């Protein structure tokens, strides 16, 4: 039997992209665009003798969150590592452009929810994937410029790596759980290029200590920290939709200043406990070990907030 608390509050990390959408939106409000039955699939995978997916690993559509319309995009991290590719990328870019075009009309949405779960570009169609990432960044900034917040939800198995890390950093607000990871160059790639002395990708504690949700929210790479259940992500998405900063030159200048300050304060640190010690946390080594309630208490009592974005 599945324990009762798991039935009641399914884990974001364990859920499929479709189940995350169902859990984030109001019940029965999701309308998918280019759903699986339309069979808009990767034309490239067959050349590599790989089975495709009916939705190419990305689900896009509209729905409601607390009664207000939202656009939603979810990557399925378990299919090909949740990758940016030709078809999946076009679905993301198309939806973002449609949101911008509909801004201020009766079809306008209150926010875009971006459920990232990706290792980055799909290597089998890498050129198209790289283009998809840059087009996504441009389209996403277009949505923000139209006054619509884009909220990233990161807590899947694949994390948000490569282009996914860049896209995350462009969002208005980033929600993350302990299991969530954000970075550009993945641990294995760093190790391959620079050696295990630089970064040992098999050291799971190190990987999460550096790229994981707790370190990201402490340093301002993410804005909201949630427990890893689907309901917490839903609540944070609804809250942060209203807390997003305006996409203005002032915000960009403040963001640049924030990042410069972070680099000058901690740029020479070799590992995250050094950063927490310098930031004045009482027991820096315990940060990865305390439970979620204790970590949330730590965040609120120290009033850790990173504005700009």
Partner 1 sequence: METFTIRAQARASLPGTGRQAIVGVVASGNLEVLLERSETGDAVVVDVTTSARGFRAVWEAVVADFIARSSPGGVRFSIHDNGARPDTVTLRLLQGVKLLETQP
User: Which segment (52-60, 101-109, 128-136, 234-242) binds partner 1 by CB under 8 A?
Assistant: 52-60
Find the binder of partner 1 among 11, 64, 78, 201 (CB under 8 A). Answer: 78
User: Is residue 50 close enough to count as binding partner 1 by CB under 8 A?
Assistant: yes
Owner of token pair 């364990």: 14
Distance CA 158, CA 181 (A): 8
CA-to-CA distance for 33 and 96, rounded, in angstroms?
12
Of 32 and 203, CB closest to partner 1? 32
Distance CA 206, CA 198 (A): 11
Contact between 274 and partner 1 (CB under 8 A)? no
Identity of the residue, 53 or 235, whose beta carbon is nearer to partner 1 in the bound complex? 53
Q: What share of the chain is helix, strand, coil (3-state, %, to 5)?
A: 45, 15, 40
Instruction: Rule CB under 8 A: say whether 23 interacts with partner 1.
Output: no
Dihedral of the alpha carbons of 277, 279, 285, 288, in degrees to the nearest 10? -160
Shortest distance, CB of residue 17 to partner 1, whole angstroms?
A: 8
Nearest approach, Cβ of residue 119 and partner 1 (Å): 13
- We find the least distance from the C-beta atom of residue 88 to partner 1, in angstroms, to be 13
Q: Is 2 in the site for partner 1 (CB under 8 A)?
A: no
Q: Which residues contact 114 (CB under 8 A, 6 or more apart)?
A: 73, 140, 150, 151, 152, 153, 167, 168, 171
Helix (H, G, I), strand (E, B) or coil at 252: helix
Q: Which of 4, 5, 49, 197 binds partner 1 (CB under 8 A)?
A: 49
Which residue's entry shows tokens 């169902």? 22
Residue 36 makes contact with partner 1 by CB under 8 A: yes
Least separation in angstroms between CB 78 and partner 1: 4
Q: Which range touches partner 1 (CB under 8 A), out of 50-58, 134-142, 192-200, 205-213?
A: 50-58
Q: Ramachandran region of residue 193, left (φ > 0), alpha (ψ -120 to 50) or beta?
A: alpha
Q: How far is the CB of 27 from partner 1 (least distance, A)?
A: 12
Nearer Cβ to partner 1 (57/220)? 57
Question: Taking CB under 8 A as the rule, does residue 44 contact partner 1?
Answer: no
> In the sheet where 31-33 sits, what is the strand order?
31-33, 58-65, 68-75, 112-116, 150-154, 173-176, 224-225
- Name residues contacting partner 1, limited to 79-118 (CB under 8 A): 79-80
Residue 124 interacts with partner 1 (CB under 8 A): yes or no = no
Which positions touch partner 1 (CB under 8 A)? Answer: 16-18, 36-37, 46, 49-54, 76, 78-80
């Amino acid at each position: 039997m599945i324990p009762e608390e798991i039935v009641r509050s399914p884990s974001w990390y364990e859920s499929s992209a479709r189940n995350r959408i169902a859990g984030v939106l109001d019940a029965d409000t999701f309308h998918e665009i280019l759903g699986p039955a339309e069979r808009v699939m990767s034309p490239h995978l067959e050349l590599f003798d790989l089975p495709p997916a009916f939705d190419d690993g990305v689900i896009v559509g509209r729905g409601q969150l607390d009664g207000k319309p939202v656009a939603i995009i979810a990557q399925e991290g378990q299919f090909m590592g949740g990758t940016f590719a030709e078809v999946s990328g076009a679905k993301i870019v198309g939806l973002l452009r449609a949101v911008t075009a509909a801004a201020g009309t009766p079809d306008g949405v209150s926010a875009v929810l971006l459920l990232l779960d990706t290792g980055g570009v799909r290597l089998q169609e890498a050129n198209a994937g790289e283009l998809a990432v840059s087009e996504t960044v441009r389209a996403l900034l277009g949505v923000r410029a139209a006054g619509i917040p884009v909220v990233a939800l990161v807590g899947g198995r694949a994390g948000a790596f490569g282009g996914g890390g860049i896209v995350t950093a462009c969002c208005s607000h980033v929600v993350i759980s302990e299991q969530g990871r954000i970075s550009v160059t993945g641990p294995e790639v760093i190790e391959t290029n620079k050696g295990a002395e630089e970064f040992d990708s098999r050291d799971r504690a190190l990987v999460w200590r550096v790229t994981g949700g707790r370190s990201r929210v402490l340093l301002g790479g993410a804005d909201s920290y949630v427990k890893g259940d689907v309901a917490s992500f839903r609540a944070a998405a609804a809250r942060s939709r209203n807390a997003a900063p305006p996409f203005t030159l002032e915000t960009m200048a403040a963001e640049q200043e924030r990042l410069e300050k972070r680099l000058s304060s901690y740029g020479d640190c070799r590992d995250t406990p050094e950063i927490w010690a310098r930031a004045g946390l009482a027991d820096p080594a315990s940060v990865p070990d305390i439970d979620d309630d204790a970590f949330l208490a730590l965040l609120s009592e120290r009033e850790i907030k990173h504005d700009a974005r």
